[in-house]
Structures are given as C-alpha cells and as structure tokens.
C-alpha cells in the first residue's frame, strides 16, 4: 500500500506536511469533480490519482462522469476542436442536444457540495440546472484555448460566465471572463502504475509481449489518435531520420470514450505506416498504464509532435523517466520542454527529425538532458503540487479577499 511517507521520500516531508496543514483548514469539505470520461486522456489520468489523494487528505471528494450518446460527444469534440482554434460548424439542433444531455445528467445528481470543479466544456452546462447543489462552482479548462473559434467560444462563454472562478493550465489561455482566473499546471503521480519505477525485466517483459525488438533505438509517441497530436507528422519525421540513422518508431495510443474521432485517425495512421516493419502502431486498452510506463522507459527518445496542446501529460511522464523529449513549441509543451535543457522544441517535421537524429547521435547528451528533465518534473509537475494548488484555491474561494494563507 502506498503511504504519504512514500510521497515524502520523493518530494520531501515538508511538502507533505504543508498539504496536511492546508487540508486541515478545509476540514471534511465536500468536493465534487465532474468530467466526461473515466478513461482515456489527461483529465481522467489526473482525476484517477487526485481524487483518492484528496480523500486521504480528509476532503469528501467524489468524481462524477456525465453520460452521453454519440451525438453529444460529436458536439463536445467539436467544442474541443473549436476551442483549440479549428473551424467547426455546430448545428443549433446539436447545441440543443448538448443542453438536453446536461439536463438529463443533472437529474442524477443531489450533491449538497461545498465545491464543484467542472472539467472542460462537456459538463459545463450543469451549472444552469443545479447551481443550488454547491456553494462554489469552478470551471477547469484543460485545452489550449489561446485562440478559440469565436462563434463556439461565444456560446460556451455565456455558460462559463456563470462560474465563480476558472482554472487554466497556462496564463496564455486566460480569457476575458467576469471572474477570477487561476493558473494550475497539471501533474503526474510518481507512484502510479504509469510512472512508478520498473525493473529492466519488467520493461523487457512488456516489449516481448508486444513483439518489439531492441535491435534499433526506439522513438516513441504516446497519444490518443487525434489529429492535434499529429501522428502523421511523427511518421514523416521518422522517415526523414531513417534515411540516415537506423531506428524504429512506436505510436502507442488508445481511445477515449468521449472522443469519436479516434477510429478515423487510427485508420490514417495504419495506412501511412503500412509495410514498414519498424513502425509499431499500438492500440492499447485504457488501463494499459503499466505497458505505457514500460514503453516510455524502453524508448531512447520521446516525441510529442502536437499542433495544439493544453498541457501534454505524456511529456511530463517521459521526462520523469529520464528521457529527453522532442516536442512541438505549442501550448503546455513549452512549460515542460526547456529548449536545450530538458529536450528540444521544434516547429516542423524537418525540425523534429533533425533533433531526433541529433540526440540519437549524442547518447551522453540525451542522458544528461533526461536527468535534468527528471529533476524539473520533481520540482514542478508532481501531483503533490496540483493537490497543493487545488487546496489553496478552495481556501481562497472560502475566504474571498484574502491574499495569502496563514498556516
């Protein structure tokens, strides 16, 4: 069983003591999180660890998942794409359907909560139906909303305006809203199956099971099959590298229950990789945390070639395993990949290929960067820091006007 002492061994006992002091200020406050999928994607990943830890801190924390049909997830994926700047048309009838699905979900809830944190746009409309079920409503946006499609944002902003506070992953995403906006970076749990230490035998066991040899250096991208993750661009970069340097590529991903685009993008990736035995496209089940952990540890270089990225937990996961990351200079990736220190930032398939080769040819430098990456994650992107930020936010909402917290 994992204890707070195990976390203290990683982040230091004072960090854990501070969390307890913050949690004591809140007592057994009821804190409800709502999102739209229990598995797949970064939001579910964080909630699956933050909710039990907040509960252990003494808050009555629960996690609700709204239910929907394929039509509503088409709409909400449209919201997601539009917030990340894509041009999308959403029919008025589908917007009505989004509202209706939120109404149906609202009928299932009877919270009497102190705090509700609504993650992303899918369940955002709940506030219109059951506002009196919680004292404080917080909207937590996980996507890159720096340049949203204005028509869709106008519709959503009307809803978001009603919240008491919004939380974004970086200041660039802040919007013109009539309430306080907070910046809270996502994070990973170093003791979860996705991130805990593995032995060399465990890593090898997973590679054997997946039929992946280690005859050549491994380049890896872990991502849902989503166009913003640019898996086709990764294949393009890999082909450029392969002209000069032997390597193999693993594209590992799964599907999220609230993402209807996965199968189409997966088919495109299969098509693009056809006939190359050194490209492994893995469609993993949603609970393949241990396998992803092993793949990240087996990889020589990890790539995150997204064209938009709210944060990119996969980058932190890779860095925690001491891997240098070649990542696009977009969204939250720039918070993690410090160019020339913890990895390289790139802007094109050519740039990505250049940096992959650069690192493949300099294993000592790759190792040094990986070490720096790991220490950077330790001080910035571990779950204890997110828990601290959430607790601090709740205390501030309970004490409006206070500028600092006495502990």
**Contacts to ligand UDP by CB under 6 A:** 41-42, 45, 194, 222-224, 252-254, 284, 292, 311-314, 317
Q: How far apart are CA 382 and CA 376, in angstroms?
A: 10
SS3 216: coil
> CB 314 → ligand UDP: shortest distance, Å?
4
Smaller CB distance to ligand UDP: residue 130 or 143?
A: 143
Nearer to ligand UDP, 222 or 235 (CB): 222
Helix or strand or coil: residue 263?
Answer: helix
The b/e string for 329-358 (b: 16+ C-beta within 10 A; e otherwise) is ebbbbbbbbeeeebbbbbeebebbbbbbbe
Q: Between the CA of residue 73 and those of 65, 102, 257, 258, 300, what are the distances in Å?
A: 13, 12, 9, 6, 36
User: Closer to ligand UDP at the Cβ: 130 or 373?
Assistant: 373
- CB half-sphere exposure, 301, CA atoms < 13 A: 32
Q: Closest CB to ligand UDP among 72 and 295?
A: 295
Query: Which of 366, 228, 336, 144 minimizes the C-alpha distance to 327?
Result: 336
Query: Least Å distance between CB 135 and ligand UDP?
Result: 29
The nearest distance, CB 287 to ligand UDP, in angstroms, is 8
CB 31 within 8 A of CB 117: yes
Shortest approach of ligand UDP to residue 363 CB, angstroms? 25
Closest distance to ligand UDP from the beta carbon of 146 (Å): 15
- Closest to ligand UDP by CB, 222 vs 298, is 222
Q: Give the count of beta carbons closer than 10 Å to the beta carbon of residue 241.
A: 21
Measured from the CB of residue 262, what is the shortest distance to ligand UDP in angstroms?
10
Specify the residue, 241 or 252, whose C-beta has the smaller distance to ligand UDP. 252
> What's the start-to-end Cα distance of the chain, in Å?
29
E strand segments, 81-176: 113-119, 134-140, 165-168
**C-alpha to C-alpha distance for 161 and 328, rounded to whole angstroms:** 32
CB of 13 to ligand UDP, least distance (A): 27
Min dist CB 260 to ligand UDP, Å, is 14
Q: Which is nearer to ligand UDP, 45 or 114 (CB)?
A: 45
Q: What are the two backbone dihedrals, phi and then psi, of residue 39, each rounded to the nearest 5 degrees?
A: -135, 150
The CB-nearest residue to ligand UDP is: 42
Nearer to ligand UDP, 45 or 64 (CB): 45
Tell me how far CA of residue 275 lies from CA of 216, 272, 278, 279, in angstroms. Answer: 18, 9, 9, 9
């Amino acid at each position: 069983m994992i204890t707070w002492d195990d976390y203290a061994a990683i982040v230091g006992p004072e960090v854990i003591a501070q969390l307890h002091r913050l949690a004591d200020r809140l007592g057994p406050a009821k804190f409800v999180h709502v999102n739209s999928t229990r598995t797949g994607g970064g939001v579910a990943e964080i909630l699956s660890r933050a909710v039990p830890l907040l509960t252990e801190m003494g808050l009555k924390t629960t996690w609700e998942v709204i239910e929907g049909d394929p039509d509503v997830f088409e709409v909400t994926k449209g919201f997601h794409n539009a917030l990340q700047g894509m041009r999308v048309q959403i029919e008025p009838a589908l917007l009505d359907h989004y509202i209706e699905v939120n109404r149906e979900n609202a009928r299932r809830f009877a919270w009497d909560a102190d705090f509700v944190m609504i993650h992303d746009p899918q369940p955002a409309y709940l506030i219109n139906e059951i506002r009196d079920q919680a004292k404080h409503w917080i909207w937590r946006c996980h996507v890159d909303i720096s340049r949203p499609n204005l028509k869709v944002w106008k519709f959503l902003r009307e809803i978001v305006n009603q919240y008491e506070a919004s939380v974004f992953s970086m200041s660039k995403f802040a919007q013109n809203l009539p309430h306080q906006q907070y910046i809270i970076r996502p994070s990973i749990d170093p003791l979860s199956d996705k991130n805990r230490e593995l032995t060399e035998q465990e890593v090898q066991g997973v590679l054997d099971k997946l039929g992946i040899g280690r005859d050549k250096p491994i380049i890896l991208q872990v991502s849902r099959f989503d166009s913003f993750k640019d898996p086709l661009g990764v294949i393009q970069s890999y082909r450029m590298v392969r002209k000069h340097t032997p390597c193999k590529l693993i594209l590992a991903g799964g599907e999220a229950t609230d993402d209807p685009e996965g199968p189409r993008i997966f088919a495109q990736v299969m098509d693009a990789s056809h006939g190359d035995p050194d490209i492994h496209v893995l469609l993993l089940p949603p609970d393949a945390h241990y396998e992803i952990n092993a793949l990240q540890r087996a990889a020589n270089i990890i790539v995150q070639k997204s064209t938009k990225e709210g944060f990119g937990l996969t980058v932190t996961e890779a860095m925690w395993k001491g891997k240098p990351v070649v990542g696009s200079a977009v969204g939250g990736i720039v918070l993690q990949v410090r160019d020339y220190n913890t990895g390289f930032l790139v802007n094109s398939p050519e740039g990505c290929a250049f940096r992959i080769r650069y690192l493949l040819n300099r294993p000592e430098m790759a190792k040094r960067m990986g070490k720096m990456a790991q220490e950077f994650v330790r001080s910035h992107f571990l779950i204890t820091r997110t828990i601290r930020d959430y607790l601090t936010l709740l205390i501030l909402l309970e004490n409006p006007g206070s500028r600092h917290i006495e502990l």
